[in-house]
C-alpha cells in the first residue's frame, strides 16, 4: 500500500517592533483571556528583576497568568530545566491551547521554545527577546534548543514562535559584555548578507553602539536591519538545508573558542565575541579557499579586533581547538567544511579546508594579538 502524503509547513510567525508588537500581544492575550485559555510567562532571575516591570507597565491591566522561572545563564539550557518546566506546565493545568511567552535572552527563548514545541506535541509560544543577541538572532527563525552534556544545541526543534516582539527598551539594563555579544552576531549577518549594512555598521556614526546608557536610536536601526536579514534568510530555508548555513560564518572556530574558555582557569568569553574571533580565523580560510581579497581580510580583522578585543590563544592550545572543531563538525575525507566569505555581503557554504590551512588560520589569528 502506498499513501501519498503532502505536508505543507505552516509558517505563520511574525516579527514585530515595539508599537505594533505590543498591540498584537494585547490582542492575543485578550483573546486568550476571553476564552479562558491559560497563558504562562517564562523569565530568568535577571529578566524577572529587570524586564518584568517594563513588560507589566506596557501591558497595563492585562496580566498573563502563571510565572515560570529559571536560573540565568547557559547552564539552564538543559534537558533538566526542560523537564522541570514540562512538569510545571502539567501541574498548572496547561493544555494544547495554552500559550507560553518567553521573556528573556537567547537562553530563555531557546529553552522556552523547545519546551513549548514539545509539550503535548506543541503549544503556541511568543518570544520577547531582551538581549541584543536574542533580538537580532536567537528569537527569530524558529530554532529551539537545549544542550546535552557539553554539546550545544544537541536537542531541539524547528518551531516558529507565533510572534516575536522586539522592543529595544529592554536593552537599557543590559551590561556592556552582553551588548557586545549581540553586536558580533549583527556584524556577522551584515558580512554574509548585506554589503551596505556592513559599510554602515563600520561607519564612524555607529561607533557609539557600545556605550552605556545605550543609544537607543542606533540599536533600533541595527537590530531592525539585522533581524530583517535573518528573517529573509529563514524564509528561504526554514529547515536549514541550504542558504541558512551562511549564518554559520565564524561559528566553527567560534564554538572552539567557547569550548576552550570553559576549560579550567580560562578567561570567559561570550558566544558573540567567540564568533568574532572565529570570523577572523575564517577570513584567513576565505582568502585561501574562495578568493576573499587579502586587503579585505586585513580590514575586517582589524575592525573585529578593535571592536571585540583579542581572546588569548597560545600555540599549545591549538590541538585542543582542533579537537573541539572535529567534535563539532562532520569531517569530510580529513577536511572540515565551513561557510566562507567571498567578499563582504557574499558568503559561500560547504567550503572544505584541510588541517594545515586551519592551523595557519590559528597562527594568523595569533598574530592579531599585537594589533589594535
Q: Answer yes or no whether residue 134 interacts with ligand NAD by CB under 6 A.
A: yes
Comparison of 52 and 65: residue with beta carbon closer to ligand NAD: 52
Q: Answer yes or no whether residue 127 interacts with ligand NAD by CB under 6 A.
A: no
Q: What is the number of H-type helices and E-type strands within the chain?
A: 14, 11
Q: Which of 25, 94, 108, 245 binds ligand NAD (CB under 6 A)?
A: 108
Q: Answer yes or no whether residue 256 interacts with ligand NAD by CB under 6 A.
A: no
- Joined together, the cell numbers standing for residue 127 give 518570544
User: Judged by CB under 6 A, how many residues of this single chain contact ligand NAD?
Assistant: 31
Q: Answer yes or no whether residue 168 interacts with ligand NAD by CB under 6 A.
A: no
DSSP bridge pairs for 15: 164
DSSP secondary structure letter of residue 250: T
Shortest distance (Å) from residue 143 CB to ligand NAD: 4
Residue 158 vs residues 110, 113, 352: alpha-carbon distances, Å: 11, 9, 27
Q: Answer yes or no whether residue 130 interacts with ligand NAD by CB under 6 A.
A: yes
Q: Rounded distance, CA 164 to CA 221, Å?
A: 17
Asked whether 185 and 275 are in contact (CB, 8 A), the reply is yes
Q: Answer yes or no whether residue 229 interacts with ligand NAD by CB under 6 A.
A: no
Comparison of 176 and 320: residue with beta carbon closer to ligand NAD: 176
Q: Answer yes or no whether residue 107 interacts with ligand NAD by CB under 6 A.
A: yes
Q: How big is the chain, counted in residues?
A: 372
Bridging pattern class, strands 151-158 and 143-148: antiparallel
Whether the CA torsion 323, 325, 330, 334 is positive or negative: it is negative
Tell me the three-class secondary structure of 14-43, residue by residue. EEEEHHHHHHHHHHHHHHHHHCCCCEEEEE
Contacts of 116-120 with CB under 8 Å at 24 or more apart are 116/144, 116/159, 117/144, 117/157, 117/159, 118/82, 118/86, 118/157, 119/86, 119/89, 119/94, 120/94, 120/95, 120/96
Q: Answer yes or no whether residue 72 interacts with ligand NAD by CB under 6 A.
A: yes
Q: In whole angstroms, what separates CA 354 from the centre of its chain?
A: 28
Q: Answer yes or no whether residue 51 interacts with ligand NAD by CB under 6 A.
A: yes
Q: Answer yes or no whether residue 259 interacts with ligand NAD by CB under 6 A.
A: no
Q: Answer yes or no whether residue 73 interacts with ligand NAD by CB under 6 A.
A: yes
Q: Rounded distance, CA 298 to CA 283, Å?
A: 9
Q: Which of 106, 124, 161, 250 binds ligand NAD (CB under 6 A)?
A: 106
Shortest distance (Å) from residue 165 CB to ligand NAD: 14
Q: Which residue has the cell 520577547?
A: 128
Q: Answer yes or no whether residue 77 interacts with ligand NAD by CB under 6 A.
A: yes
Q: Rounded distance, CA 354 to CA 372, Å?
A: 29
Q: Which of 21, 64, 105, 278 binds ligand NAD (CB under 6 A)?
A: 105
Using CB under 6 A, which of the segments 82-90, 107-115, 216-224, 334-342 binds ligand NAD? 107-115
Q: Answer yes or no whether residue 174 interacts with ligand NAD by CB under 6 A.
A: yes
Shortest distance (Å) from residue 367 CB to ligand NAD: 29
Q: Rounded distance, CA 261 to CA 272, Å?
A: 13
Shortest distance (Å) from residue 299 CB to ligand NAD: 25
Site for ligand NAD in 136-165 (CB under 6 A): 137-138, 141, 143, 152-153
For ligand NAD, the binding residues (CB under 6 A) are 44, 46-47, 50-51, 72-74, 77, 104-108, 110, 130-131, 133-134, 137-138, 141, 143, 152-153, 170, 173-174, 178, 181, 271
Amino acid at each position: 500500500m502506498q499513501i501519498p502524503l503532502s505536508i505543507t509547513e505552516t509558517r505563520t510567525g511574525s516579527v514585530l517592533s515595539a508599537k505594533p508588537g505590543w498591540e498584537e500581544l494585547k490582542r492575543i492575550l485578550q483573546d486568550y483571556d476571553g476564552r479562558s485559555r491559560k497563558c504562562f510567562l517564562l523569565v530568568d532571575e535577571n529578566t524577572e528583576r529587570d524586564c518584568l516591570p517594563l513588560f507589566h507597565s506596557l501591558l497595563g491591566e492585562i496580566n498573563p497568568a502563571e510565572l515560570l522561572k529559571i536560573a540565568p545563564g547557559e547552564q539552564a539550557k538543559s534537558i533538566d530545566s526542560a523537564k522541570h518546566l514540562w512538569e510545571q506546565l502539567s501541574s498548572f493545568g496547561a493544555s494544547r491551547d495554552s500559550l507560553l511567552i518567553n521573556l528573556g535572552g537567547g537562553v530563555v527563548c531557546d529553552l522556552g521554545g523547545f519546551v513549548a514545541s514539545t509539550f503535548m506535541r506543541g503549544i503556541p509560544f511568543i518570544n520577547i527577546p531582551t538581549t541584543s543577541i536574542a533580538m537580532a538572532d536567537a528569537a527569530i527563525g524558529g530554532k529551539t534548543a537545549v544542550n546535552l552534556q557539553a554539546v550545544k544545541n544537541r536537542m531541539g526543534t524547528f518551531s516558529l514562535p507565533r510572534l516575536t516582539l522586539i522592543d529595544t527598551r529592554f536593552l537599557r539594563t543590559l551590561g556592556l559584555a552582553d551588548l557586545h555579544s549581540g553586536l558580533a552576531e549583527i556584524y556577522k549577518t551584515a558580512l554574509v548578507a548585506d554589503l551596505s549594512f556592513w559599510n554602515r555598521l563600520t561607519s564612524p556614526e555607529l561607533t557609539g553602539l557600545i556605550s552605556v546608557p545605550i543609544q537607543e536610536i542606533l540599536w533600533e536601526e541595527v537590530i531592525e536591519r539585522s533581524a530583517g536579514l535573518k528573517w529573509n534568510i529563514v524564509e528561504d530555508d526554514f529547515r536549514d538545508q541550504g542558504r541558512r548555513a551562511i549564518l554559520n560564518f565564524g561559528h566553527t572556530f567560534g564554538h572552539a573558542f567557547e569550548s576552550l574558555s570553559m576549560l579550567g582557569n580560562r578567561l570567559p568569553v561570550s558566544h558573540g565575541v567567540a564568533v568574532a574571533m572565529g570570523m577572523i580565523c575564517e577570513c584567513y580560510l576565505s582568502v585561501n579557499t574562495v578568493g576573499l581579497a587579502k586587503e579585505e581580510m586585513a580590514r575586517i580583522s582589524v575592525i573585529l579586533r578593535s571592536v571585540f578585543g583579542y581572546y588569548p590563544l597560545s600555540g599549545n592550545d591549538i590541538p585542543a581547538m582542533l579537537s573541539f572543531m572535529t567534535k563539532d563538525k562532520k569531517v569530510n575525507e580529513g577536511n572540515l567544511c565551513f561557510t566562507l566569505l567571498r567578499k563582504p555581503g557574499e558568503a559561500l557554504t560547504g567550503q572544505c579546508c584541510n588541517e594545515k590551512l586551519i592551523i595557519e588560520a590559528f597562527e594568523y589569528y595569533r598574530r592579531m594579538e599585537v594589533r589594535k
